[in-house]
Amino acid sequence: MAAIAERTSERIAPPRRQRIVFRGGTVWRWVVLLVTAVYFLLPLWAALRFAGVGAFGSVVGEAGFTSSLALSVRLAVITTLFTIALILPTAVYVHLRLPKLRRLLEGITILPIVIPPVVLIVGVLAIAPGVLKGTSLLLSLVYVVLAMPFAYRAIDAGLRALDLKTIVEASNSLGAGWGSTLWRVILPNLRTALLSATVLTVALVLGEFTIASLDLYQTFPVWIYVNSQTSGQVSVAASLLALFVTWIFLLAITVLGSRQSRKTGGGEVTLFTVARTETRGD
Amino acid sequence: MTANTTRNAAEAADTIGQAERGGGTSVLLRDLTRAFGATRALDGLSIEMAPGELVALLGPSGCGKTTALRIVAGFETADTGSVMVDGKDISPVPAARRDMGMVFQSYSLFPNMSALDNVAFGLRMRKIGAGERRKRAGDLLDMVGLAAQASQYPHQLSGGQQQRVALARALAIEPRVLLLDEPLSALDAKVRLQLREQIRTL
């Protein structure tokens, strides 16, 4: 047995992606960066100047701030839970048992992006049962539909990066039932994908305006809009705050995701794709 | 299926091996038939395996070797026929309770677990305590010559190392039957030879 002791144990560094360099490339790179930076940062800077630093202090005390933010956060939490509870088992099932339906499901899940939100909410309000109409639960359910394209894609990308069928069968043959397999094998390997799905869903709910306003709920974006009628500066400050909070969220997820991925070799982590790193051969 | 049943041939085809622990187990495949649409993967396959026997199934690709193994493991159901283990028909038993170790053709380690945790997974499912689990998993990794890689994750291991961990993992549960589905096909010739010798010595 000792004869088989490792001779190839030193790790081979992964090949670096070749950089495309052309003459004057460095200069152009900076020009592009500068233009992009101006495009994105100028409005923010203008907003900040308009609002003034003082406005940030008064945002919190403004009437409706706490209740609208609380409503938005609650909607975000409920929507995320519903979305993942719905999409995760569906995606796993389709990958394992109905791989032929993957195309179809991809098509179906993209629909909410194609259908304008106004159409969606007007339709939903027309047919929703009376019990749901008066509650924010209805809004959550509509958001589940809106979040579906993003959540499905994130989870689907995570599942594609795994050899799901084989590891599920391996887990079964080792004596793990469906519960243990889902909990100990599938979920831990989908951590990044689930985080992506969560971030996208949360960001969507925290920023959604049309549907909430048509459903007559004062969520945070609706509150910002309503407030802008009376005090422009405070509402701009609130928007900047919301932007900052969402950005922190995204950053945290990306950092968390890439740490996990470094550990288990899951490859590069972005919000939509979990690129697979090939196992090196002998 | 042209079932070329060759005894003791550790040629790198699919191998239905018998675990030699606990006195051994007999396996009997009787008239197995399985069709996928118009393709008949298995057509009346019958094999009798005595306890402790090492049996290899040989044949060209697509001839139904993998299907036969998957039926024995419980991942696939036969259209007709039965699988008897120690005289009992195991068709109603789900894969998770068949007590069969399986090494797959493709890499099948759990990416989120270290080599040691991979090997210990089956023991964990059998509610064996953490200390005992680690010890047994460690012993098995030692046996396949990978004691030094215990804390490494699958992506840090080479293909051959991964298949050896998978072998240790399948053996950890002290299976009644050990099923090897072309465990060497993903490896190059040299490693294949080494690992083949290793499997034979089990």
Contact B156 A9 (CB under 8 A): no
Residue A216, SS3 per DSSP: coil
Q: For residue A278, what pLDDT is reported?
A: 40
What is the mean pLDDT of the segment spanning B77-98?
82
Contact A183, B89 (CB under 8 A): no
* Contact: B102, A173; criterion CB under 8 Å: yes
pLDDT at A7 over 70: no
Of the candidates B62, B53, B173, the residue with the CA atom closest to the CA atom of residue B120: B173
Query: A188–B112: do the CB atoms touch at under 8 Å?
Result: yes
Give chain A's mean pLDDT: 79
Q: Taking CB atoms and an 8 Å limit, are B158 and A188 in contact across chains?
A: no
The alpha-carbon gap from B38 to the nearest alpha carbon of chain A, in Å, equals: 18
As a whole number, mean pLDDT of residues A252-280 equals 56
pLDDT of residue A3 exceeding 50 = no
Q: Which two tokens stand for residue A185?
A: 């094998």
Report d(CA B123, CA A47) in Å as an integer: 60
- Please give the residue that has the higher pLDDT: either A140 or B183: A140
ipTM computed for the complex: 0.81
Task: Give the rounded distance of the alpha carbon of A175 from its chain centre.
Answer: 34
Of A113-117, A138-142, B28-32, minimum mean pLDDT range = B28-32
- Residue (of B114, B187, B178) closest to B152 by Cα position: B114
In whole angstroms, what is the distance from residue B10 CA to residue B196 CA?
A: 7
Angle between helices A164-173 and A65-97 (to 10 degrees): 80
By mean pLDDT, which of A36-45, A192-201, A247-256, B92-101 is the weakest? A247-256
CB contact under 8 A, A264 and B155: yes
Other Cβ atoms less than 10 A from the Cβ of B151: the count is 10
Q: Residue A83: pLDDT above 90?
A: yes
A37-54 tens-digit pLDDT = 999 999 989 988 888 777
**For residue B201, what pLDDT band results from cuts at 50, 70 and 90?**
low
> Is residue B188 very low, low, confident or very high in pLDDT (cuts 50, 70, 90)?
low
Q: Which residues of B touch A163 (CB under 8 A)?
A: 106-108
Instruction: Check B74 against A172: CB less than 8 A apart.
Output: yes
Closest CA to A219 of A136, A145, A148: A136
Is the pLDDT at B98 greater than 60, yes or no?
A: yes
A171 and B CB contact within 8 Å? yes
Interface with A, mutate which of B108, B118, B198 (most A CBs under 10 A): B108
pLDDT at A123 over 90: no
Structure-model confidence comparison of residues B169 and A13, the more confident one: B169
Chain A residues touching residue B108 (CB < 8 angstroms): 163, 166-167, 169-170
pLDDT band at residue A162 using 50, 70 and 90 as cut-offs = confident
Helices vs strands, H then E, count in chain B: 5, 9
Amino acid at A278: E
In the DSSP assignment, the letter for residue A206 is H
A163-197: pLDDT as tens digits: 888 899 999 888 888 888 888 888 888 888 888 88
Q: pLDDT tens for residues B11-35?
A: 334 555 444 444 467 788 888 888 8
